[in-house]
Amino acid sequence: MKPDLTHAAQRCPVLSKARPDTRKLLVESASLRRLDRSDSLFLHETHADQCFVIVFGWIKLYRILPNGSEAIIRMHTAGETLAFADCLRDGQHQTGADAASEATVLCIPAALLREAIASDPDFGRILLTNSFDQIDSLNEQLESLKCQTAIQRVGCFLRRHARLREGRLVVLLPFEKGLVASYLGIKPESLSRALGRLKGHGVRSGREEIEISDPAALDALIHDDAGSLAYTG
Protein backbone atom coordinates (compact mmCIF):
# COMPACT_ATOMS: atom_id res chain seq x y z
CA MET A 1 0.00 0.00 0.00
CA LYS A 2 1.07 3.59 -0.54
CA PRO A 3 2.32 4.91 2.85
CA ASP A 4 0.19 8.08 2.92
CA LEU A 5 -2.96 6.17 2.01
CA THR A 6 -2.25 3.39 4.50
CA HIS A 7 -1.93 5.94 7.30
CA ALA A 8 -5.20 7.57 6.25
CA ALA A 9 -6.98 4.20 6.24
CA GLN A 10 -5.70 3.36 9.71
CA ARG A 11 -7.08 6.65 11.09
CA CYS A 12 -10.54 6.10 9.61
CA PRO A 13 -13.06 4.45 11.98
CA VAL A 14 -14.63 2.62 9.02
CA LEU A 15 -11.60 1.43 7.04
CA SER A 16 -9.62 0.53 10.15
CA LYS A 17 -12.27 -2.09 11.02
CA ALA A 18 -12.23 -3.74 7.59
CA ARG A 19 -10.41 -6.97 6.89
CA PRO A 20 -6.80 -6.35 5.79
CA ASP A 21 -7.50 -7.64 2.27
CA THR A 22 -10.59 -5.45 1.95
CA ARG A 23 -8.73 -2.39 3.19
CA LYS A 24 -5.89 -3.13 0.77
CA LEU A 25 -8.34 -3.46 -2.15
CA LEU A 26 -9.87 -0.06 -1.38
CA VAL A 27 -6.69 1.83 -0.61
CA GLU A 28 -4.64 0.58 -3.56
CA SER A 29 -7.21 2.01 -5.99
CA ALA A 30 -7.78 5.20 -3.98
CA SER A 31 -6.13 8.56 -4.50
CA LEU A 32 -5.34 11.58 -2.36
CA ARG A 33 -6.83 14.94 -3.27
CA ARG A 34 -5.68 18.20 -1.76
CA LEU A 35 -8.09 21.11 -1.50
CA ASP A 36 -7.65 24.78 -0.80
CA ARG A 37 -10.20 26.59 1.33
CA SER A 38 -13.54 27.00 -0.53
CA ASP A 39 -12.65 24.37 -3.16
CA SER A 40 -15.61 22.16 -4.09
CA LEU A 41 -15.35 18.44 -3.38
CA PHE A 42 -18.72 17.58 -4.92
CA LEU A 43 -21.99 19.30 -5.77
CA HIS A 44 -25.51 18.61 -4.57
CA GLU A 45 -27.49 16.22 -6.81
CA THR A 46 -24.49 15.19 -8.90
CA HIS A 47 -23.81 11.48 -9.38
CA ALA A 48 -21.92 9.94 -6.47
CA ASP A 49 -19.04 8.18 -8.23
CA GLN A 50 -16.63 8.53 -5.31
CA CYS A 51 -16.71 8.44 -1.52
CA PHE A 52 -14.21 10.09 0.76
CA VAL A 53 -12.23 9.86 3.99
CA ILE A 54 -10.93 13.14 5.40
CA VAL A 55 -7.21 12.88 6.10
CA PHE A 56 -6.65 16.49 7.15
CA GLY A 57 -8.70 19.66 7.50
CA TRP A 58 -12.43 20.41 7.54
CA ILE A 59 -15.18 19.82 4.99
CA LYS A 60 -18.62 21.43 5.19
CA LEU A 61 -21.75 19.78 3.81
CA TYR A 62 -24.38 22.24 2.66
CA ARG A 63 -27.45 22.90 0.54
CA ILE A 64 -28.43 26.07 -1.28
CA LEU A 65 -31.93 27.22 -0.34
CA PRO A 66 -34.44 28.57 -2.90
CA ASN A 67 -33.65 32.14 -1.78
CA GLY A 68 -29.96 31.58 -2.55
CA SER A 69 -28.74 31.36 1.04
CA GLU A 70 -26.55 28.50 2.22
CA ALA A 71 -27.67 26.02 4.87
CA ILE A 72 -24.74 24.19 6.48
CA ILE A 73 -25.81 20.63 7.23
CA ARG A 74 -22.67 19.18 8.79
CA MET A 75 -19.03 19.94 9.54
CA HIS A 76 -16.62 17.03 9.17
CA THR A 77 -12.96 16.72 10.07
CA ALA A 78 -10.04 14.26 9.97
CA GLY A 79 -10.95 10.57 10.14
CA GLU A 80 -14.59 11.09 9.19
CA THR A 81 -16.27 9.77 6.04
CA LEU A 82 -18.33 11.43 3.32
CA ALA A 83 -20.75 10.12 0.68
CA PHE A 84 -20.45 6.40 1.51
CA ALA A 85 -24.25 6.02 1.68
CA ASP A 86 -24.71 7.93 -1.59
CA CYS A 87 -22.27 5.56 -3.30
CA LEU A 88 -23.92 2.45 -1.87
CA ARG A 89 -27.22 3.56 -3.37
CA ASP A 90 -25.50 4.37 -6.67
CA GLY A 91 -27.38 7.65 -6.46
CA GLN A 92 -26.86 11.39 -6.22
CA HIS A 93 -25.07 13.38 -3.55
CA GLN A 94 -27.61 14.55 -0.97
CA THR A 95 -25.61 17.70 -0.23
CA GLY A 96 -22.76 19.72 -1.67
CA ALA A 97 -19.33 19.57 -0.03
CA ASP A 98 -16.69 22.33 0.09
CA ALA A 99 -13.39 22.62 1.92
CA ALA A 100 -13.84 24.84 4.98
CA SER A 101 -10.06 24.93 5.37
CA GLU A 102 -7.10 23.51 3.52
CA ALA A 103 -7.87 19.81 3.40
CA THR A 104 -6.73 16.44 2.11
CA VAL A 105 -9.19 13.65 1.35
CA LEU A 106 -8.83 10.00 0.38
CA CYS A 107 -11.00 9.35 -2.70
CA ILE A 108 -12.42 5.84 -3.19
CA PRO A 109 -14.29 4.89 -6.40
CA ALA A 110 -17.92 3.99 -5.74
CA ALA A 111 -17.77 0.88 -7.93
CA LEU A 112 -14.86 -0.41 -5.88
CA LEU A 113 -16.75 0.19 -2.63
CA ARG A 114 -19.66 -1.91 -3.88
CA GLU A 115 -17.23 -4.61 -5.05
CA ALA A 116 -15.67 -4.72 -1.59
CA ILE A 117 -19.06 -5.20 0.04
CA ALA A 118 -19.95 -8.03 -2.35
CA SER A 119 -16.77 -9.90 -1.45
CA ASP A 120 -16.79 -9.03 2.26
CA PRO A 121 -20.30 -8.96 3.82
CA ASP A 122 -18.80 -8.05 7.21
CA PHE A 123 -17.55 -4.81 5.68
CA GLY A 124 -21.10 -4.10 4.55
CA ARG A 125 -22.25 -4.39 8.15
CA ILE A 126 -19.48 -2.00 9.21
CA LEU A 127 -20.73 0.55 6.67
CA LEU A 128 -24.33 0.04 7.78
CA THR A 129 -23.36 0.69 11.40
CA ASN A 130 -21.49 3.82 10.31
CA SER A 131 -24.57 5.06 8.44
CA PHE A 132 -26.72 4.52 11.54
CA ASP A 133 -24.14 6.38 13.65
CA GLN A 134 -24.33 9.35 11.28
CA ILE A 135 -28.15 9.30 11.47
CA ASP A 136 -27.92 9.27 15.27
CA SER A 137 -25.55 12.23 15.12
CA LEU A 138 -27.94 14.16 12.90
CA ASN A 139 -30.78 13.42 15.32
CA GLU A 140 -28.66 14.76 18.17
CA GLN A 141 -27.96 17.87 16.11
CA LEU A 142 -31.68 18.36 15.49
CA GLU A 143 -32.41 17.92 19.20
CA SER A 144 -29.73 20.49 19.99
CA LEU A 145 -31.25 23.05 17.60
CA LYS A 146 -34.70 22.57 19.12
CA CYS A 147 -33.89 22.27 22.80
CA GLN A 148 -30.51 23.77 23.67
CA THR A 149 -29.38 27.33 24.20
CA ALA A 150 -26.67 28.92 22.10
CA ILE A 151 -24.03 28.38 24.77
CA GLN A 152 -24.95 24.70 25.06
CA ARG A 153 -24.78 24.21 21.28
CA VAL A 154 -21.32 25.73 21.23
CA GLY A 155 -20.28 23.49 24.12
CA CYS A 156 -21.56 20.38 22.31
CA PHE A 157 -19.67 21.34 19.16
CA LEU A 158 -16.44 21.79 21.10
CA ARG A 159 -16.81 18.47 22.93
CA ARG A 160 -17.52 16.60 19.69
CA HIS A 161 -14.47 17.96 17.88
CA ALA A 162 -11.97 18.23 20.77
CA ARG A 163 -8.79 16.13 20.42
CA LEU A 164 -5.90 15.48 22.77
CA ARG A 165 -2.74 17.24 21.60
CA GLU A 166 0.36 17.09 23.76
CA GLY A 167 -1.76 16.48 26.84
CA ARG A 168 -4.17 19.34 26.10
CA LEU A 169 -7.80 18.94 24.96
CA VAL A 170 -8.18 21.36 22.05
CA VAL A 171 -10.31 22.15 19.03
CA LEU A 172 -8.43 23.54 16.03
CA LEU A 173 -10.51 25.91 13.91
CA PRO A 174 -8.49 26.95 10.83
CA PHE A 175 -11.43 28.93 9.43
CA GLU A 176 -13.73 31.80 10.36
CA LYS A 177 -15.73 31.21 13.53
CA GLY A 178 -18.73 32.63 11.64
CA LEU A 179 -18.90 29.29 9.84
CA VAL A 180 -19.39 27.55 13.18
CA ALA A 181 -22.12 30.03 14.08
CA SER A 182 -23.95 29.32 10.82
CA TYR A 183 -23.68 25.57 11.40
CA LEU A 184 -25.05 25.91 14.94
CA GLY A 185 -27.94 28.12 13.84
CA ILE A 186 -26.86 31.18 15.82
CA LYS A 187 -25.60 34.66 14.97
CA PRO A 188 -21.84 35.39 14.95
CA GLU A 189 -22.26 37.80 17.85
CA SER A 190 -24.07 35.07 19.81
CA LEU A 191 -21.11 32.76 19.23
CA SER A 192 -18.72 35.42 20.53
CA ARG A 193 -20.86 35.94 23.65
CA ALA A 194 -21.11 32.18 24.20
CA LEU A 195 -17.34 31.73 23.96
CA GLY A 196 -16.90 34.57 26.43
CA ARG A 197 -19.28 32.95 28.91
CA LEU A 198 -17.61 29.57 28.45
CA LYS A 199 -14.45 30.94 30.09
CA GLY A 200 -16.22 30.24 33.36
CA HIS A 201 -16.71 26.62 32.34
CA GLY A 202 -13.14 25.66 31.51
CA VAL A 203 -12.92 26.95 27.92
CA ARG A 204 -10.29 29.32 26.57
CA SER A 205 -10.71 30.68 23.04
CA GLY A 206 -7.85 31.78 20.79
CA ARG A 207 -7.73 32.78 17.13
CA GLU A 208 -7.45 29.26 15.67
CA GLU A 209 -7.50 27.10 18.78
CA ILE A 210 -9.98 26.56 21.60
CA GLU A 211 -8.76 24.71 24.69
CA ILE A 212 -11.00 22.80 27.11
CA SER A 213 -9.22 22.77 30.47
CA ASP A 214 -12.17 21.49 32.51
CA PRO A 215 -14.23 18.94 30.50
CA ALA A 216 -16.38 18.09 33.53
CA ALA A 217 -17.46 21.71 33.96
CA LEU A 218 -18.32 21.97 30.25
CA ASP A 219 -20.28 18.71 30.37
CA ALA A 220 -22.25 19.98 33.37
CA LEU A 221 -23.24 23.08 31.42
CA ILE A 222 -24.24 21.06 28.35
CA HIS A 223 -26.54 18.84 30.40
CA ASP A 224 -27.96 21.59 32.62
CA ASP A 225 -31.72 21.77 32.12
CA ALA A 226 -32.28 24.79 34.32
CA GLY A 227 -29.63 27.40 35.08
CA SER A 228 -28.05 27.75 31.63
CA LEU A 229 -31.39 27.89 29.83
CA ALA A 230 -31.81 31.49 30.93
CA TYR A 231 -29.17 32.39 28.35
CA THR A 232 -30.58 32.14 24.84
CA GLY A 233 -27.91 33.99 22.84
**Max Cα distance, the chain (Å):** 55
Least Cα distance to 77 among 49, 105, 51 occurs for 105
User: How many Å apart are CA 156 and CA 71, to the nearest integer?
Assistant: 19
Residue 83 Rama label (left phi>0; alpha psi -120 to 50; beta): left
CB 150 within 8 A of CB 195: no
Domain locations along the chain: 3-137, 148-230
For residue 227, pLDDT beyond 80 = no
pTM, two decimals, is 0.81
For residue 230, pLDDT beyond 80 = no
Q: What is the mean pLDDT of residues 13-22?
A: 89
User: How many Å apart are CA 225 and CA 207, to the nearest integer?
Assistant: 30
User: How many Å apart are CA 112 and CA 108, to the nearest integer?
Assistant: 7
**In CATH terms, are 3-137 and 148-230 the same topology?**
no
Instruction: Kindly state the helix (H) or strand (E) to which residue 101 belongs, with its residue range.
Output: none
pLDDT band at 79 (very low <50, low <70, confident <90, very high): confident
CATH ID of 148-230, from 3.40.50.2300, 1.10.10.10, 2.40.128.110, 1.10.730.10: 1.10.10.10
In angstroms, the Cα distances linking 58 to 39, 48, 186, 187, 189 are: 11, 20, 20, 21, 22
Q: Any idea what DSSP says for residue 145? A: H
For residue 12, pLDDT beyond 70 = yes
Q: What is the mean pLDDT of residues 208-218?
A: 93
User: How many Å apart are CA 23 and CA 3, to the nearest integer?
Assistant: 13
Torsion of CA 12, 160, 167, 56, to 10 degrees: 40
Instruction: Give the pLDDT score at 139.
Output: 83
pLDDT band at 2 (very low <50, low <70, confident <90, very high): low
Q: What is the mean pLDDT of the chain?
A: 88
Instruction: Kindly state the helix (H) or strand (E) to which residue 56 belongs, with its residue range.
Output: strand 50-56
Does domain 3-137 match CATH 2.60.120.10? yes
222: buried, middle or exposed (CB in 10 Å: 19+, 13-18, 0-12)? buried
Q: What is the mean pLDDT of residues 183-211?
A: 91
